[in-house]
A and B are shown apart, each in its own frame.
Chain A
Amino acid sequence: MFGLDKKDASLLLIVAALVAFAPFLLNPFPEGSAMAQFNAGYPDLMQRFVIFGIFAIGFNILFGLTGYLSFGHAAFLGVGSYAAVWMFKLLSMNVLPAIILAVITSGIFALVIGYVSLRRSGIYFSILTLAFAQMSFALAYSVLTPITGGETGLQLALDDPRILGSATTAEGNIPVPGLFGLEMRDSAELMFGNWVFTFNVGYYFAAIVMLLSFYLAIRIFRSPFGMMLRAVKSNQQRLNYTGLNPRPYTLAAFVISGMYAGLAGGLMASMDPLAGAERMFWTASGEVVLMTILGGVGTLIGPVLGAGMIKYMENIISKINSDILHSWFAFLPDGLEDLIVTMIYPFIGKGWHLTLGIVFMLVVIFLPGGLVEGGQRVAKLFGRKKADETKSAKTEPAE
């Protein structure tokens, strides 16, 4: 199907089904129940799941296949966001041209940075990309304020030209991004007993884009080009001796993953039309590295899982506070309850970064293949074949 073999096709179908039914799957607890705070099925968070999924898939094409660890990938995401918001300001509120421009701009940007950075490898490559990203961040924050909006970020205004669309709505407000009349923030709600399921236009648009880019990533992984990239990772010297120049391949991989990041940035701006320099800060680049490693480097599904997990933790764990903890452990005797709450408290709420750091360290130390490898080990433990999901996502050891 679609030029994929059976395993890949079923993987794609599983992902498509998961994404399509996400509003149900992520809302397993009825409204108002004690567990309702674990529900992740609200549009804002679901959009972030798929958008960061795209970002991580793209990063994985570079890091997972070629082994080049870029520490400045957020720069492309930021550039994509800026390009998209400018398109909203100048052309129209339609998301398609905005996303296309975002991808093209970040692709050109990645071409320039990649051309220079890829002259070195290893830690030097990481430092070079980090330096470029920090430069972009510093410039966007200060000198380029006319283009980037500086500290406040780039926002839409009522007097923007928008030559193809209308500058204002009938009520005199700033119009919202949409796709040929479908507004991104429109949602339909389905009540089912106590359960409320939200179906958001923006989410489904982003989800379709994510499925397309996931499909593209599978094709890249299975193509001769993907084989070349793996060869770069496993032994670049041997590749040189064979008479092949690895540079064009790595550069192509770098540009492709930069364009994925730009696509994610463009989508982010389509959901919420503003862009700020902090999206380019190096901690944002670190986050996508965390996502990819956590999920599983070099696997197809890993980065998506990692992105979902980190965004889930960020939004759900950080919402838990000590009152909620007390209500959970209320069945215990008071002293024990207080003890447990005090022990757990540093890891939740504002401390969710601590949980993230610890989980990340444990994964790097014990599970270099990430969650996917963990899944495979569990499957092996039970001694039966697991579903095609993990089988087709072959684990390559992390570089």
Chain B
Amino acid sequence: MDAIILQILNGLDKGSAYALIALGLTLIFGTLGVVNFAHGALFMIGAFCAVTLSKLLKLSHTVIDETRTDFLGNPLKVEVPYVYDIFGQSTGDAIIDWAVPLSILFAIPIMILVGVIMERGLIKHFYKRPHADQILVTFGLAIVLQEIIKYYYGANPIPTPAPQAFVGSFDFGALVGFEPGQIIYPYWRLVYFTFAAVIIGAVFAFLQFTTFGMVVRAGMADRETVGLLGINIDKRFTIMFGLAAAVAGLAGVMYTPINSPNYHMGMDFLVLSFVVVVVGGMGSLPGAVLAGFLLGILESFASMREVIDIIPGINQVIIYLVAIVILLTRPRGLMGRKGVMED
């Protein structure tokens, strides 16, 4: 029993990342009808927003400390981050420590901007072109974006730790009445899951309960009629693209403490996220979220020792296997709508 709970918990954080990326992909697909292979790159850019902010915060200048001397007897030179000058030492330390959560504020405007530029500058011209062309051009864009990041940040993963308060793990099992020490779960993963749940909830609430969201949903169902009613649906869809980029970016920001970001992390996630979207059903938002969590949990179950002993290698292929079975038996995916990309 405790092993099962542990695997579910383990699956949740990976599942959250899948669900967030798949949600953004589906938003773009459902609104603009574009298959965006550059979505993984947006996830990666988000992660590098966190890297950039924590580097910016650590920018420092040299101050000569008269009270201490180095080993040669000269006054000691101390690197003082600029944040200390502005906020004082203790607040400055706290800010540097909380760089990753703070990057959320930093990443949202950047990601929306990147998304809008991408849509207006490139993808707009591909609405009338076949899906294969859209896949190819966004694939090219993904290569370009990740090479730019590689040029500026290098090819090695850059560790970006979580705030001290969230480092380490806690005994989840003891909380719910199991033997202590049975179910150990890192704090940050819990934070990640909560964060993902909040974002997903916010996106759904935005679509469900605001006028803007209503118009967008109407546009997803029948773009032409909404246009005929005199609503500028293209503008709203552009904003949705920015929003989807922001969702992917935030997923990337919060993922940095779990996995040190490197330039190809986006591509690694992209393939799986596409599988998630297809399993959930093209164009279905709840389907994408459900499939994300489902596949994340399945993957962690498949990596249990007991399961690997029975079917070796299952942990490597389970997601693809599920995708193949679902695609062949339920052509629309788990919750796909009728008439959306059914061929």
A283 within 8 A of B: yes
Stretch of B95-103, B130-138, B172-180, B221-229 that contacts chain A: B130-138
Residues of A within 8 A of B151 (CB): 346, 351, 354
A138 within 8 A of B: yes
Instruction: List CB contacts (< 8 Å) of B309-343 with chain A.
Output: 312-313, 316-317, 320-321, 323-324, 327-328, 331, 341, 343
Cβ B316 vs Cβ A139 within 8 A: yes
A291 within 8 A of B: no
A353 within 8 A of B: yes
Cβ A398 vs Cβ B141 within 8 A: no
Cβ A138 vs Cβ B317 within 8 A: yes
A248 within 8 A of B: no
B267 within 8 A of A: yes
A119 within 8 A of B: yes
Cβ B130 vs Cβ A353 within 8 A: no
B171 within 8 A of A: no
Q: Across the two chains, which residue of chain A brings its CB closest to B125?
A: A365
Stretch of B42-50, B107-115, B142-150, B192-200 that contacts chain A: B142-150
Chain A 349-362 interface mask (CB, 8 Å, partner B; 1/0):
01101101110110
Cβ A353 vs Cβ B133 within 8 A: no
Cβ B327 vs Cβ A122 within 8 A: no
Residues of B within 8 A of A360 (CB): 136, 140, 143
Stretch of A80-88, A128-136, A151-159, A191-199 that contacts chain B: A128-136
B274 within 8 A of A: yes
Instruction: List CB contacts (< 8 Å) of B10-32 with chain A.
Output: none
Return the contact of B267 from the options A69, A126, A144, A283 (Cβ within 8 A).
Answer: A283
Instruction: List CB contacts (< 8 Å) of A95-145 with chain B.
Output: 116, 119-124, 126-128, 130-132, 134-135, 138-139, 141-144
Cβ A368 vs Cβ B133 within 8 A: yes
Q: Across the two chains, which residue of chain A brings its CB closest to B35?
A: A123
Given contacts A143-B313, A282-B271, A357-B143, contact A121 B320 (CB under 8 A): no
Cβ A142 vs Cβ B313 within 8 A: yes
Residues of B within 8 A of A132 (CB): 320, 324
Given contacts A138-B317, A368-B133, contact A357 B144 (CB under 8 A): yes
Residues of B within 8 A of A144 (CB): 313
How far apart sit A356 and B151, CA to CA, in the bound complex (Å)? 14
Return the contact of A361 from the options B35, B130, B137 (Cβ within 8 A).
Answer: B137
B188 within 8 A of A: no
Cβ B130 vs Cβ A128 within 8 A: no
How far apart sit A353 and B320, CA to CA, in the bound complex (Å)? 28
CB distance from B296 to the nearest CB of A (A): 17
Chain B CB within 10 A, most for which of A116, A123, A138, A289 = A123
A286 within 8 A of B: yes
Return the contact of B147 from the options A143, A283, A354, A365 (Cβ within 8 A).
Answer: A354
Return the contact of B140 from the options A122, A134, A357 (Cβ within 8 A).
Answer: A357
How far apart sit A38 and B225, CA to CA, in the bound complex (Å)? 58
Residues of A within 8 A of B130 (CB): 398-399
Given contacts A135-B317, A351-B151, contact A121 B343 (CB under 8 A): yes
CB distance from A16 to the nearest CB of B (A): 31
CB distance from A281 to the nearest CB of B (A): 10
Return the contact of A127 from the options B139, B267, B323 (Cβ within 8 A).
Answer: B323
Given contacts A283-B267, A361-B140, contact A123 B316 (CB under 8 A): no
Return the contact of B135 from the options A126, A139, A142, A283 (Cβ within 8 A).
Answer: A126
Residues of B within 8 A of A121 (CB): 343
Residues of A within 8 A of B267 (CB): 283
Chain A 334-354 interface mask (CB, 8 Å, partner B; 1/0):
000000000000100011011
Residues of B within 8 A of A354 (CB): 143-144, 147-148, 151
Cβ A116 vs Cβ B328 within 8 A: yes
Return the contact of A358 from the options B144, B150, B271, B341 (Cβ within 8 A).
Answer: B144
Cβ B135 vs Cβ A123 within 8 A: yes
Residues of A within 8 A of B343 (CB): 120-122, 124
Cβ A361 vs Cβ B324 within 8 A: no
A15 within 8 A of B: no
B275 within 8 A of A: yes
Return the contact of B278 from the options A116, A127, A134, A353 (Cβ within 8 A).
Answer: A127
How far apart sit A138 and B271, CA to CA, in the bound complex (Å)? 13
- 15 A-B pairs with CB atoms under 8 Å apart are A120-B327, A120-B328, A122-B343, A123-B35, A123-B131, A124-B327, A134-B320, A135-B320, A139-B316, A283-B267, A286-B139, A289-B139, A293-B136, A356-B143, A364-B137
Q: Hey, which bits of chain B sit against chain A, CB under 8 A? A: 35, 122, 125, 130-133, 135-137, 139-141, 143-144, 147-148, 150-151, 267, 271, 274-275, 278, 282, 312-313, 316-317, 320-321, 323-324, 327-328, 331, 341, 343
Q: Which 7 A-B pairs have the closest CB atoms?
A: A143-B313, A357-B143, A138-B316, A354-B147, A361-B140, A357-B144, A131-B320
